[in-house]
Amino acid sequence: MKNRIIGKSLVCGIIVLFLGMSIVPMAGSLSVEKHPSMIGSIKELNAVTKTGSLDYNITLSGTMGNNGWYVSCVGIGISGCGGCETFLFKIDGGSWFTYTAPFFVCGDGHHCVEAIVVDQYGNQTHLGPVFFKIDMTPPTVVLHKEVLPNKIRLTVEVWDNQSGVCDYHGEFYLDGALQFIDTEAPYQWTLSPIPSGHHTISVIVYDNAGNKGSSSVSTSLSRSQSASQPISQQINQLVQSLVMRYQMTNR
């Protein structure tokens, strides 16, 4: 009787041990699948390391003139949405510098800016190049006056080193009042008859960025004074005018 009890206990023990060994691996295999919070944490961590999905930008700010030219200093800013990045930048292919705050470029000419963003994991994102151009310098204008019998001929000499001279008008003024617009270079205007007293003749010319340059001459000649000029002086002025026009045409 006693041996039967021991035998039954031994059999039950073996059965329980076998079941325990088979259930433990199943529980272990089910434990990973039934932890959604852990899986969510892993996915969230992977999303942070994908710097390509972050919104990094190079921004430009300034006063825009004509034809895509800035007529002021250009402010440059680099922005990101991670908060732990390091920003590097370079201007016009120069050396790399660490970006800490917006900065300004003020030199006339064509420029470009590039940037590299390095996140907290060492991933790099390259930005640019972004191109822009600046012309803050007005054109150089020289107004030439040629006194002829009972009239004054005015010719404009103008040049611009950056955006170029706007080729569609030069504005002529007499004492601040617009008198004539010449739409073909070299810009010229003839004041006739010459008004008595003191007067100011001026011209305004624009470059392609929208900057304006001006030049003025004064005259206090009366009609009788201009008409009484010696013929030799009139011929000399005419020759000078022809030479200047030839030089401007062949420049």
Question: In the chain, where does DSSP find H-type helix?
Answer: 2-33, 36-48, 223-227, 231-249
Contact 89, 100 (CB under 8 A): no
Two structure tokens written together for 240: 């000078």
- pLDDT range class, residue 7, cuts 50, 70, 90: low
Residue 212 parent element (H or E): strand 212-219
pTM recorded for the entire structure: 0.63
More confident residue, 238 or 78: 78
Of 178, 251, 231, the residue nearest 189 (C-alpha): 178
- What is the per-residue pLDDT across 13-46, written as a single tens digit (0 to 9) for each? 444 444 444 444 433 332 333 333 323 322 233 3
Is a pLDDT exceeding 80 seen at residue 188?
Answer: yes
Count CA atoms within 13 Å of residue 156 on its CB side.
32
Cα(79)–Cα(58) distance, integer angstroms:
7
Mean pLDDT of 79-104: 87
Domains of the chain: 51-134 (2.60.40.10), 140-249 (2.60.40.10)
Cα(181)–Cα(145) distance, integer angstroms:
17
- What is the per-residue pLDDT across 110-130, written as a single tens digit (0 to 9) for each? 999 999 998 888 888 899 999
Strand partners, 74: 105
- pLDDT range class, residue 221, cuts 50, 70, 90: low
Two structure tokens written together for 191: 């004041």
Of 217, 97, 74, the residue nearest 153 (C-alpha): 217
Cα(83)–Cα(89) distance, integer angstroms:
17
DSSP E strands in 80-164: the ranges are: 86-91, 97-98, 103-105, 109-118, 124-134, 140-148, 151-159
Q: What is the pLDDT of residue 22?
A: 46
Q: How are strands ordered across the β-sheet holding 109-118?
A: 97-98, 86-91, 109-118, 124-134
Contact 152, 145 (CB under 8 A): yes
